Amino acid sequence: MAAGKKVVLVACGTGIATSTVVNKAVEKIAKENNLQVEIIQCKMMEVPGYADRASLLVTTTVVDKDKYSFPIVNGRPFLTGVGKAKAEQEIRDYLAN
């Protein structure tokens, strides 16, 4: 991983369907804002295995935010459109710092 590059976990229940939609959205946000990221698409049950290097988790499932030391963004707005701008801004803010 290059210096300054942040690791973004994109997770859903199976690591296939909804996380793919969210993954594309995160890729677009990173590209449009010139943010250096490594995106790892996974199942929610795999997140603990990446926790030691994660900078951010974007997930479509309900998560106990106290369980992890990194920020968590609700990815459901990328599926529904409701609150999408807010979720995009949260991702930009977390990755820019």
Q: What angle do CA 50, 51, 52 make, to 5 degrees?
A: 95
42 is catalytic: no
Determine contact, residues 92/29, Cβ cutoff 8 Å: yes
Of the residues 12, 35, 47, 73, only one is catalytic, namely 12
- Considering the domain boundaries, does residue 58 fall inside one? yes
Supply 79's token pair: 């599926």
Residues 15, 34: Cα–Cα separation, whole Å = 26
Number of domains in the chain: 1
Q: What average pLDDT is seen over the chain?
A: 94
Model confidence, pTM: 0.93
Determine contact, residues 37/26, Cβ cutoff 8 Å: yes
- Considering the domain boundaries, does residue 1 fall inside one? no
The CATH number of the domain holding residue 61 is 3.40.50.2300
Question: Which residue in 96, 9, 7, 97 sits closest to 60, CA to CA?
Answer: 9
* Residue 62 lies in domain: 6-96
- Considering the domain boundaries, does residue 13 fall inside one? yes
What does the pLDDT read at residue 85? 98
- Considering the domain boundaries, does residue 67 fall inside one? yes
Chain segment 55-74, per-residue pLDDT in tens: 999 999 999 889 999 999 99
